[in-house]
Amino acid sequence: MSKKCFGKITGLSVLRHGLCVAASLCFLVSCGDDDSSSAKPDYEVRSCDATSEGSVEVQDSVSYVCHDGVWLRQDGQGGVVGDSLHKDSTGKTIPVTHEDSGKVVDSSRVDSLSSVADTTKSSESGVEDSSGNSSEVAYALKDVKIVGLFGYGILESKNVSVSELDSALNTTGLSFLPTVDSKKGSYSVANVTSEKPYVKVGVHGKIADVVHGVTLSMKDTLSVIVGGSGKNLEANINVLTFLKSKYMEGQLKKKGSKTFAEASKKASDAVWDMFHFDKSELVSVDSVTSIAGIDPSNAALLAVTIMMQAVINDSVANLWKVAADVADGSWDDSLARAKIADWAFNEDVNDNFETVLKNVERLGLGVVPRFEQYIRTFYRAELGIPACTEENGGEIVFSTNPYSVFYAADMSDVSVTAERFFCNGKTKAWREAMDKEKDTYGFGVGTNGEIRQGLVNAGLLYSYNASSDNWRVDSSEVTVNAFFVDKSNITDFVDIKTVYEGIKADEKVIFLLRHGQRDQNATSKEDGLSQAGLDSSKHVGKKLTKFKEPMRLGASEFYRAQQTVIGIAMGRGQDTTISDTIPELNDDWYMIDRQLVNQAESDAGGGWEATSLYTYTGAYSGENARINAYYNLEERSAELIELLYNKYKNQSDRFIMLSSHDKLMVPFVAYCSKLRINMNIKNGGTWINYFAGIAIIWDKSGNRRYVAFKGLKDAYFQGW
């Protein structure tokens, strides 16, 4: 049994023959279950006497005014139509028992009555004003009934509000109390009479999220504008009509605006256009009442509902932000449109529409329309991605929308993403392209053994096999680094400042250099730099201050190498902590066996001489060498690059400063320059100087380049 309660508002001022008369309005509201139909409530009416003269009672949507001891029914225009409540033998009004079992539909003003009729002067035709002239009351809406659906299968609510709007679409404070059927998702409000042109109907409650398969409480209100002519107006509430009403707000506020009907038609078309739908095959958005059924318009409503729910918790794109954006006549938020389109495309590529379909089926509304085609229409138009058909099977695409997470300026552009999409002509569906598919797209026929860089993954190389007419990944360290060495085309040393300041925003760099000056006989691990070496380290560091990011410091196990990077850090004015001690950067990286190297040095006439012969002629290396003391130059150099690249490629640091030794740096610089830099002291070359080395630079796609640099004025050793 539902409980009923009365609401009373007292102290209303009523104008009657120019006198202020105190009045009160007691309006009825339902305070229980909306669907409780067994009760037959009794409403007690106060006595109409001198103390209540001019007071108003509202019952079953009808207003009664107390006059001369009699309750008189008002006609909605300020007049009265007779003795409506009978008196008993004592002269008091008889309590009225209402036989209806629904909610009270109060179409009177809830906040106040602007006027109460002077029953001695008013009539159905007009009211005499202060000048003695009789004027008609102009009602934009008179005894109008408004009905509509709001549930459309997924929304359940008891909270429907109906408010008066003025010509500027501002609420006036006047409200109307509707009857709500929360289970059917419908509402109605009768006898709406207003001097203002519009009414707004709003609803909020619990909504089924068909994307995520949960039920949510809406934080905001779905609302629509109601207007126009006629005694019966229909105003359905869903995502389409909500967007339409927001669009209409802008239309109706414009100077020289269209009629309500014209604005409504234009706004309906605009909503379909927002999503790139063909409106010629769809009905007006006002007529779409369900997300179930075989009608294309039902499928379109479901598609829009899904897309709006997909990003309901997103700070950029949600229904209410979209609605606010379209109020000026267009959906200008390119980022929001792209975000919704990205979600839709990703769902389609990963076959997730099936999950949404099952969520809708569980609602038990009937046949689920083919919403997918409308979602595809939207994302294809927004992202610039065509339909996948038999004709374009094998095509690889990316988004041309710069706001999309799938954007690329061309096939090799990975500034936003390396994802590309392959059309399967048999299934007519897009899927994520594999590395080989996108990297070799358009390669065509090559020459046997030809090496090409991947179009998207620049760090991957592909070699062509003529017998199988096939490009295959060639990921060997030697092949990869030989390719980038050749591409780098090093011919000489460049000042370290130039290299440093030329690093691009999407690049990272490892500076690998020879340590600073030491005393001639300071050759042990514990020996440090000379004073000149310490000073030079700081001098080099002062060149490297353009970027604010600190350099990550690393060095071999030798103290002088560690002092070198510390000095550079001091010159930059940054923290001097060494993050990495790397044994591979000791001076024996290229040496297979120290004793054999000693033999080679004795044979060549010294350490520099043996290193020069090994580096530039291949002496002392290989199974056929008289003394096999050193590793293969190409293989060992490629191994060092891969070791350092893999160590730092996923680190957050953009700049890494590493210090090593001359017997590592000479072979390494020679390899990276394809022997163009001559440090072969056995053939007119000059040994490497302090602070000279190689910069290993790479970008996010894996594309690499190598640059030889010098930290001092001279890149070649000038003597002790």
pLDDT bin (cut points 50, 70, 90) of residue 56 is low
Cα Rg, the chain, nearest whole Å:
42
Q: What is the pLDDT of residues 337-349, one digit of tens each?
A: 999 999 999 999 9
**Does the pLDDT value for residue 472 go beyond 90?**
yes
Q: What is the pLDDT of residues 251-279, one digit of tens each?
A: 888 877 678 999 999 999 999 999 999 99
User: Residue type for 667, please?
Assistant: P
Specify whether the CB–CB gap between 412 and 456 falls below 8 A: yes
**Does the pLDDT value for residue 118 go beyond 90?**
no
* pLDDT (0 to 100) of residue 139: 84
Mean pLDDT of 449-473: 94
Q: What is the pLDDT of residues 600-616, one digit of tens each?
A: 999 999 999 999 999 99
Mean pLDDT of 482-488: 96
Percent pLDDT > 70 in the chain is: 81
How do 655-660 and 507-514 pair as beta strands? Answer: parallel
Q: Which own/partner contact pairs does 333-338 have at CB distance under 8 Å and 24+ positions apart? A: 334/401, 334/403, 335/403, 336/311, 337/382, 337/403, 338/382, 338/383, 338/401, 338/403, 338/404, 338/405
483 Cβ contact partners less than 8 Å away, ≥ 6 residues apart: 451, 453, 461
pLDDT bin (cut points 50, 70, 90) of residue 12 is very low
Among 113, 106, 83, residue whose Cα is nearest residue 9: 113
First to last CA, the chain: 105
* pLDDT (0 to 100) of residue 130: 43
* pLDDT (0 to 100) of residue 349: 95
Specify whether the CB–CB gap between 375 and 303 falls below 8 A: yes
- Which residue is it, tokens 């000059």? 686
* pLDDT (0 to 100) of residue 162: 96
* pLDDT (0 to 100) of residue 99: 31
Domains contained in the chain, CATH given: 4-123 (no CATH), 141-327 (no CATH), 483-590+631-710 (3.40.50.1240)
Which of 115-124, 669-678, 695-704 is least confident? 115-124
For 182, 219, 305, 309, 644, the CA distances from 312, given in Å and listed in that order, are: 23, 10, 10, 5, 45
Angle between helices 662-672 and 477-488 (to 10 degrees): 70
Specify whether the CB–CB gap between 694 and 669 falls below 8 A: yes
Strand order in the sheet with 470-473: 451-453, 461-465, 470-473
Specify whether the CB–CB gap between 461 and 451 falls below 8 A: yes
pLDDT bin (cut points 50, 70, 90) of residue 315 is confident
Mean pLDDT of 210-233: 92
Which of 110-119, 180-189, 424-433, 520-529 is least confident? 110-119
* pLDDT (0 to 100) of residue 371: 96
**Does the pLDDT value for residue 441 go beyond 90?**
yes
**Does the pLDDT value for residue 114 go beyond 50?**
no
Most distant pair of Cα atoms in the chain: their distance: 140
Mean pLDDT of 571-596: 97
Average pLDDT, the chain: 85
Specify whether the CB–CB gap between 107 and 193 falls below 8 A: yes
**Does the pLDDT value for residue 431 go beyond 70?**
yes
Q: Which residue has the higher pLDDT, 654 or 59?
A: 654
For 213, 345, 422, 429, 432, the CA distances from 348, given in Å and listed in that order, are: 17, 5, 13, 8, 11
Q: Which residue has the higher pLDDT, 172 or 112?
A: 172
**Does the pLDDT value for residue 504 go beyond 90?**
yes
Burial status of residue 26 (CB atoms within 10 A of its CB: 0-12, 13-18, 19 or more): middle
205 Cβ contact partners less than 8 Å away, ≥ 6 residues apart: 155, 156, 157, 158, 159, 182, 217, 218
Q: Which residue has the higher pLDDT, 200 or 77?
A: 200
* pLDDT (0 to 100) of residue 259: 87
**Does the pLDDT value for residue 489 go beyond 50?**
yes
**Does the pLDDT value for residue 436 go beyond 70?**
yes
Phi, psi of 59 (to 5 degrees): -140, 125
One-character DSSP codes across 5-59: EEEEEEEEEEEETTEEEEEEEEEEEE-S-TT--S---EE-----SGGGTT-EEEE
Mean pLDDT of 113-132: 37
> If DSSP states are collapsed to H, E and C, what string results for 411-452?
CCCCCCCCCCEEEECCCCEEEECCHHHHHCCCCCCCCCCCEE
Interatomic CA distance for residues 193 and 663, integer angstroms: 97
> Beta-carbon neighbour count of residue 280 at 10 Å?
6
Q: What is the pLDDT of residues 158-173, one digit of tens each?
A: 999 999 999 999 999 9
